[in-house]
Structure 1
Amino acid sequence: MPPPLPGSTSSSLMQGVKATLISSGIGLLLLLVFTVVLWKNEGRAIRTARGLAEGAAIVVPVDAAKVDAQQESKLVHLSGEAVTKVPLEDSAFGIKQLALRLARKVQMYQWKESSETTYSNNDSSRNGTTTYTYDKVWDDKPINSASFNQPLNHTNPTAWRYSSEGWTAKDATIGAFHLPEGLVAKLGEGQALPMNESAYTFTEPNPPQLQDSTLYFGANPLMPQVGDLKVTWRILKPGPHSIVGRQTGTSITPYPTKAGTFIELVADGHVGADVMFDRAVKENIALTWAIRLVGTLFVFAGIRLLFNPLASLGRSVPFVSRLLSTGVTLFSAVLAVMLSLLVIGTAWFAYRPLLTIVLLIIMAALGIGWGMKYRKTAVG
């Protein structure tokens, strides 16, 4: 790893004020955006739950071997072998595979910049020292070295000989039902495509080296240089899958629910509709809590940045600075949790007013009961 390259940023008083205002502005933006995100998340979660409950109650199991016209436009569940007759082809490498999906992944060895800014507790003018480090990494996306603080000797190629690409079967079927490309794209993760000398053909100059199941473009795979490429493939072979969706002619499309959501569930193997809906319910709960937690963290970050000027007041006195910083951080954390709970609770009231009222009555009754019991204990 190359040594860190320091870059000093000497800020005047005006620059310090400007930096403080910018951080407060970013904090306010984060606070507003993720308050809305928390609100929207509750609505999404409730609509999704209602849609899944509706779907689980009306889904009809059908025989994938034939299309029953009586089930047209209904929510159906089918299971069987997903197959295709037309091979998928990566013409650049002469690869042909009878598969539901074929994906090429290309990675380039590139420079990556990281930075860290530190501030001195004894400096009231917010002078900062930014340290830049540069590492070489494999990445499947271009890294723009022109924007580096130290672009000299850390230059990445702008042109890629090959790029990542994917192919999806257009004729995929399960029994008598055709599977749209969007549905096939949801099926399984697939597996790495094993490679050998006979699995591909390459007629262009500067052929790659085969290393395990990777095609390597460069002088030495053991000593990669910036600009070297690694190419790998993933494949989803024909196999058993289960689908829940709307029967539309001989195809399966997303089913619109009364809650305003769409149902289109997939699973690897032969899986019953009840299991698929149960998984979808659990995924919805997990996603809801994940967004709640992430949203609360960003609300905290927003509040902390918003109060950053207050935390900076005692920067010239280390003890006072640490005390203020800790106090502002704790205050921001408590305020973030309270605000997030308020937003979530208000959203629940907006989307589920009756249930919210019932819960409030129960909570009030428990509180009154606990208070009366505590009073009797105190009197006794």
Structure 2
Amino acid sequence: MATLVETLRAHWLIAAFGLILFIAGSSVLYWNEGRAVHTMMALDETYADVYSMQFTEEEQDQTFDNRIVHLSGPIICGEPLTEPDYNIQLMAVKLRRRVQMYQWVEEAIDNHFGDSEDSVHSDTRSYYYKREWRDDLVDSRRFNSRRGHQNPQRLPIESVLQVADAVYIGKYELGGEVKNKFNNYHELTSDIRPEDSSIKMHLGLYYHANDVFNPEVGDLRILFTYAGMEGEIYSIVGKLQGNKVEPYITTRGVPVLLLHHGEISAAELFRMEYRAQALHTWWWRFVGWLLIFFGVTCNTKMLRLLLLRVPPLMGLAPDLHFPVTGNFVIAFSLALTIAAIAWILHRPVIGACLFMAGASPYVWLTRNLVDYQRVD
């Protein structure tokens, strides 16, 4: 059997790569668990002091300045958002204009497969040209063949996002960061045609084109979407500063601001947020574990030599012929142990559970080893 030094010399490159993966996975896990701990503590702190506004007459005589509040009700917009050229006037939190231009697009491939709308062949590559609707300008000056494939140099109409200046729930105004969380966009459809006869409508889109079915390079099409229509019911948790709802900054400096569509109680809002944070945490745990698993896999031979030298850990040594199971167990144990370190000081019960789960493969294999030695 080769020694540890001989194995390291023979596989130093893959061992170094595996070490990098292991460090990266450990860093991801430690960062993720630290983030999860602080987020959960921030939610706990916020939930402990939240007050649900009922919009009663008794509340009119009370002051809630600098209090954490839960609001639920229909949103009210101060002024409409408008697009005069398209006869659009909408009472909503956000109105987004998305502009696309019909342009030439170049594709370069090494193999000579079938032609597209237009193609140019060179000794090493084939360049194909086709026309597509694109959000961003395609610089035709960078094309391999510019002749007959010229795009306009600018967009005559830009994409833009309008945000209402004043939005309320009851008498309380929503701050800028609250309005930024309205991101559930819906397509805006209208039967009112623009006054400009050169602008055509088709399937909810506005076309600056002679023929919507046969567009030419330089033609435009525009899609309008909105978020937060006036009258829709939303539920919010934030801090009242004066008459405006802003994020609550916890004692640890973590901002907390919750917003969901519908009439939802404070308890249910926090339950939803806890669930979302748990799913987010487990996703990053999987990413960290995967990096550690590949890092361990790159160092299977050296790990086997190391573990075989320690009798209590011999059962963890991966089988060189079937290494996946052993590597899986080692990566699983290491990942949970790293996670436990981040939790143990703040949530001892969670930290202890993670640590015991991480140690369980070692305990089980050690027990089997002891039983085997007794039989001998």
Paired residue for 1:218, among 183, 199, 209?
Answer: 209
Q: Is the 1:105–1:164 Cα contact (8 Å) retained in structure 2?
A: yes
Q: Report what 1:324 is aligned to.
A: none
Q: Secondary structure at the match of 2:190?
A: coil
Q: Is the contact made by 2:72 and 2:264 (CA closer than 8 Å) also made in structure 1?
A: yes
Residue in structure 2 matched with residue 184 of structure 1 by the alignment: 179
Q: Secondary structure at the match of 1:241?
A: strand
Find the counterpart in structure 1 of residue 254 from structure 2: 261
Q: Which of 99, 105, 113 is residue 98 of structure 2 equivalent to?
A: 105
* 1:18-74 deviations in Å (ceiling 9; x for gaps): xxxxxxxx9999998787555433322221122122222332111246556443222
Secondary structure in 1 aligned to 2:92? coil
How many angstroms apart in 1 are the aligned matches of 2:23 and 2:368?
A: 42
Deviation for aligned residue 1:209 = 1.3
Question: Residues 79, 349 of structure 1: CA spacing in aligned structure 2 closer, same or farther, 3 A cutoff?
Answer: same
- 1:366 to 1:28, Cα distance in 2 relative to 1, 3 A: closer
Larger-gyration structure (1/2)? 2
Q: Contact 1:170–1:180 (CA<8 Å) still a contact in 2? A: no
Q: 1:117 to 1:348 in 2, by over 3 A?
A: farther
Within 5 Å, give how 1:146-161 maps onto structure 2: 146-148=141-143, 153-161=148-156
Unmatched segments (≥5 aa) in structure 2: 1-16, 112-123, 299-321
Q: Does 1:346 align with 2:338?
A: yes
- Relative to structure 1, the CA distance from residue 351 to residue 165 in structure 2 (aligned partners, 3 Å threshold; closer, same or farther) is same
Partner of residue 270 from structure 2, selected from 263, 266, 277: 277
Counterpart selection for 1:230 from 221, 227, 232: 221
Identity of aligned residues (%): 27
CA distance in 2, matches of 1:300, 1:361: 20
2:363 matches 1:368: yes
Match for residue 164 of structure 2 among 136, 148, 169 = 169
C-alpha change, 1:38 and 1:346, in structure 2 (3 Å) is closer
Relative to structure 1, is the Cα distance of residues 86 and 364 closer, same or farther in structure 2, using a 3 angstrom cutoff? closer
In the superposition, relative to structure 1, how do residues 27 and 365 fare at CA in structure 2: closer, same or farther (>3 Å)? closer
SS at match of 1:283: helix
Structure 1 residues 30 and 162: alpha-carbon distance in aligned structure 2, compared to 1, 3 A threshold? farther
Shifted more, 130-139 versus 86-95: the winner is: 130-139
Aligned twin of 2:195: 201
Unmatched segments (≥5 aa) in structure 1? 1-25, 119-128, 307-329
1:366 Cα deviation from its structure 2 partner: 7.0
- CA shift, 1:226, in A, is 3.0
Call closer, same or farther: CA 1:104–1:336 in 2, change over 3 Å: farther
In 1, the alpha carbon distance for the partners of 2:339 and 2:143 equals 43
Q: Are the counterparts in 1 of residues 329 and 361 from structure 2 also a CA contact under 8 Å?
A: no
1:84 to 72, 77, 91: 77
Partners of 1:62 and 1:76 within 8 A in 2? yes
Quote how far apart the aligned CAs of 1:87 are: 1.4
